[in-house]
Amino acid sequence: MTADAHADPTAAPIRWIVTTQDAAWQETAGPELTPLTDMPNVFVQVDTPQQQIEGFGASFNELGWTSLGVLGEAQRAEIFRALFAPGVGAGLSLCRMPVGANDFSRDWYSYDEVPDDFALEHFSIENDLETLVPFIRAAQTEQPDLRLWASPWSPPSWMKRNGHYAGALPNPFMNSVENGLRPDQVGEEGTDMFLLDEPHLEAYARYFGRFVDAYRELGIPIDMVMPQNEFNSPQVFPSCTWTPDGFAQFLRHLGPEMRSRGVDVFLGTLERADDRLLGDVLEDASVAEYVSGLGVQWEGKRAVAALHRLHPELRIYQTEQECGDGLNDWRHARHAWSLMKQFLTNGANAYMYWNISLLEGGRSRWGWTQNSLVVVDPEAATYRWSYEYQVLKHVSAFVRPGARALECLTYSGYANQLAFLNEDGTIVLVIQNDMSEDMPVRIMLGDRVITPTLPADSFSTFVIPAARDPRRSA
């Protein structure tokens, strides 16, 4: 597609959607594409598309479902339509789920807590039938093509050296709830908490297989798995540390188990600014052959550029947006935008928010608070959309699976935008004005420019339709 094609003045009008702290999702008349008359501030490189975008999403956590249970059926229907229905709201299409309990589950559980059950005779997803399964099915109703990937926070406790789901003692300064861990059971970074012998490794790989099979039987296909959430962090909640060598040993079992089911394996989730934690695993060719992507979150954001450069053949998912403090305020929405820029300008193919829904305050089973897209008031049985929902929607509502990221060259401090090219030729430009005053900006697309004045402290999305082909209209 040429630059001239995007500059065709006969194309349909440009859409312009604006969100400020006081007014969300205000659509106004968009600017026109005009000839270049002055030096632009932003150059959108329309002819050199970057990585493909696979989708945007969030995580199905148990407390997300129980918080929505406070609401009436009609309210829940409104929420799922706004979150998942294509062309309606946020249009989420690629989501995460846990394998067993995570830190926003009702409590600790795994699919097999019977000690030494190597045959997995007691494997069961019965717990999920109350929460995660109906949660996902409600989303599938609005988004039948919803894609899912999964990762565990902890293996069954009998597969671990400390025999416990957690890896760290509660921290009273973080209001952590007692988890029953003894000091002699504490895990350490850079160690393997998993029992790395053949019976445990082989049983755990089959555990993943049983999980995939059980969900597939319910009409919920799992496209991809990651072997461990935050594999270098012992936590007060379900967690398990692994070394690169331990990961490699497990992937030799997990890879064939997943390949036989047509399920991808990504290596992650990396939460540290150290690309070697993944790179050391990929140096083993017998392991790397099973890995088709990488998962990165939190401080891993400082490693994503290096990972993209060193492993251009692998897809990269941002796997969990930093989840805030339960205040759901404008400050953290602005931070959320900075995270999206960090990942998507450095090669990420997908971007995941964290909690879909929580009760007001967002308190977890283990005692701290986090943000969510939907905030539920349990006393009034009402809900509201958070600011972070609006920021995510500014991108996810218009950037469709299969789109390509576009590089933006900027001058004079205008480095505050993301741009994408959809497969139908539309360009999506999302830009923040973080100043306290209105800001005029000149943005070049092909050989033409748009010159909007961005409202103070705002987010704007411009949807520039594909140019009409004059040969078709002749």
> Considering the chain, what is the average pLDDT of its residues?
94
Tell me the C-alpha to C-alpha distance, in Å, between residue 442 and each of 40, 205, 432. Answer: 5, 54, 14
pLDDT at 223: 98
Hey, how many other C-beta atoms are within 10 angstroms of the C-beta on 10?
8
Residue 468: what pLDDT?
A: 56
Verify that 154 and 110 share a domain, yes or no. Answer: yes
CA distance linking residue 373 with residue 390, whole number of Å: 8
Residue 387: helix, strand or coil by DSSP?
A: helix
Q: Residue written as tokens 């999964």?
A: 150
Count CB neighbours of 110 within 10 A.
Answer: 23
Report d(CA 251, CA 257) in Å as an integer.
9
Residues 306 and 226 both lie in one domain: yes
pLDDT for the residue numbered 466: 87
According to DSSP, the β-strands at 34-35 and 26-29 are unpaired
Q: Within this chain, do residues 261 and 347 fall inside the same structural domain, yes or no?
A: yes
From 396, 415, 449, give the residue that closes a domain.
396
Q: Residue 371: CB partners within 8 Å, gap ≥ 6?
A: 323, 324, 325, 326, 327, 328, 332, 354, 355, 358, 362, 386, 388
Please tell me whether residues 415 and 278 are part of one structural domain. no
* Per-position DSSP letters for 25-92, written without gaps between them: SEEEEPPPPEE--S--SEEE-TTS--SBP-EEEEE--HHHHHHHTTS-HHHHHHHHHHHHSTTTSS--
β-sheet with 408-410: strand ranges across: 34-35, 448-450, 443-445, 42-44, 408-410
What is the distance in angstroms between the CA of the first residue and the CA of the last residue of the chain?
20
- How far CA 5 is from CA of 94, 123, 249, 405, in Å, comes to 31, 57, 51, 18
Kindly list the strands in the beta sheet with 15-20, ordered across the sheet, starting from the edge strand earlier in the chain: 26-29, 15-20, 458-464, 427-433, 417-421, 404-406
Q: Tokens 């030494």 identify what position?
A: 116
- 42 strand-pairing partners: 410, 443
User: Residue 220 and residue 128: Cα distance in Å, rounded?
Assistant: 12
Residue type, 313: E
CA distances from 248 to 210, 291, 427 (A): 21, 11, 41
Last residue within a domain, chosen from 396, 420, 450: 396
CATH of residue 237: 3.20.20.80
Pick the closest to residue 106 from 65, 147, 143 (CA basis).
65
Does one domain contain both 319 and 426?
no
Report whether the peptide linkage leading into residue 269 is cis, meaning its omega lies within 30 degrees of zero. Answer: yes
Do 35 and 67 belong to one domain? no
Q: Tell me the DSSP string of 361-376.
A: T-B-TTS-B---SEEE
Query: What confidence score (pLDDT) does residue 2 get?
Result: 37
Q: Are residues 408 and 443 in the same domain?
A: yes
**What are 197-233's pLDDT values in tens digits?**
999 999 999 999 999 999 999 999 999 999 999 999 9
68 and 17 together in one domain: no
Q: Quick one: 300 and 434 in the same domain? A: no
| The pLDDT of residue 37 | 87
91-130 per-position pLDDT tens digit: 999 999 999 999 999 999 999 999 999 999 999 999 999 9
365 and 264: one domain?
yes
3-state secondary structure 273-339: CCCHHHHHHHCCHHHHCCEEEEEECHHHHHCHHHHHHHCCCCEEEECCCCCCCCCCCHHHHHHHHHH
User: Are 15 and 118 found together in one domain?
Assistant: no
CA distance 386 to 409: 31
Q: What are phi and psi of 13, to 5 degrees?
A: -60, 150
Domain count, the chain: 2
Q: Which residues of the chain have pLDDT under 70?
A: 1-11, 467-474
Q: Within this chain, do residues 378 and 463 fall inside the same structural domain, yes or no?
A: no
Structural domain of 341: 55-396
Domain-ending residue, one of 347, 366, 396: 396
pLDDT tens across 309-343, in order? Answer: 999 999 999 999 999 999 999 999 999 999 999 99
Tell me, what's the pLDDT at 7? 44
Helix (H, G, I), strand (E, B) or coil at 405: strand
List the CATH number of the domain containing 467: 2.60.40.1180
